[in-house]
Copies of this chain bind each other. A is one copy, B any other.
Amino acid sequence: MLVVGSVALDTVETPFARKEEALGGAASYFSTAASLYNQVNLVAVVGSDFPREHLDFWRSRPVNLAGLQVQEGKTFRWVARYHMDMNARDTLDTQLGVYAGFHADIPEEYRRLPLLFLANIQPELQMEVLEQMPGACLTVLDTMELWIMTTRAQLTEVIKRVDILLMSEEEVRQYTGQASIVVGVRQLLTMGLKYVIVKQGSYGALLFGADGTYFSAPSYPLEEVIDPTGAGDAFAGGFLGYLSTVQPDLDGRYSIEDIKCAVVHGNIIGSFVCEDFSIGRLRTLTMDDIVTRYHALVDCSHFDPRWRNSMGMQSLAPR
């Protein structure tokens, strides 16, 4: 799979702790997460100040860095502070650095990759990437409030070209102007998307399909949230990482059961990321940890598909 997006150095403050200049950026979280499942090909740019240790870490994983440009200048910086309810945060500073003049040049060897994640960058850049990847079998798009507000027309063109859109509930409301998520998502699905995945922070994620599919993936109850930064990008990494391990049908389509399962993997990886700053938890995460959490989510979300009705209420008969 291929990811195009930001690699950054993040300074994050929560009500309980603070971390300076740690590895961040959507593409960093995605690549590290997805590399637990399969090879990831990363297209991004860093400045000449980017710590070599991060590159060495990715080289120790199946992360192909052939598309990672290193340019003279400063790496993208992001500074944010979380509220007591860590579903809410304020961005305090954004320094684009070398991203200011970035253009995504997709290496020839990447152009036939089947799975593409357009992480949260300018819609114009996302469109450039799409045009270089006409044969991608599944394209997934992430975005944020800034692009909805400032480059709505370009974002709309990108949405019309991809298969799956990831948005938070607030982003669905902002983009569609609908108070109801269900109505807003229906509007998005008329734009040609196959699926919309609504990220709900600590509440999990919802999957809506153009075919009428609806799936509510449970969230894993974390004892302690250290830092939710990157949970959405890691979700995408778990989602596409998992799909990269299953076979689509001959038309390149994934079954709905595989898509649901991929959403659960997204939730799992997103939950792990919150357990430490930066990609800290992903460094030590194993497939056994993922298996354990998968089965915990099965256990906590499945219930009797028939009624238990020992008093014989007539109308309670199962269909």
Q: Chain A residues in contact with chain B, CB under 8 A?
A: 15, 37, 84, 179-183, 200, 203-204, 206, 214-219, 221-225, 245-247, 255, 257-258, 260-261, 264, 286-288, 291, 294-296, 298-305, 307-311, 313, 315-319
Contacts and interface: CB of A to CB of B under 8 A. Distances in A.
Contact of A182 (B222, B287, B310): B222
B179 A301 contact: no
B311 A247 contact: yes
Given A15-B179, A206-B221, A224-B180, A245 B304 contact: no
Contacts of A200: 203
17 contacts: A15-B179, A180-B222, A180-B224, A180-B225, A182-B222, A182-B223, A203-B203, A215-B300, A215-B303, A216-B218, A218-B301, A245-B310, A260-B303, A287-B315, A295-B305, A298-B305, A302-B305
A247 B310 CA distance: 6
Number of copies: 2
A303 to B, nearest CB: 5
A46 to B, nearest CB: 30
Nearest to A206: B221
A180 to B, nearest CB: 6
Nearest 10 pairs of A and B residues by beta carbon: A287-B315, A216-B218, A203-B203, A260-B303, A247-B310, A298-B305, A182-B223, A245-B311, A214-B300, A182-B221
Contacts of A294: 307
Contacts of A204: 203, 216
Contacts of A183: 223-224
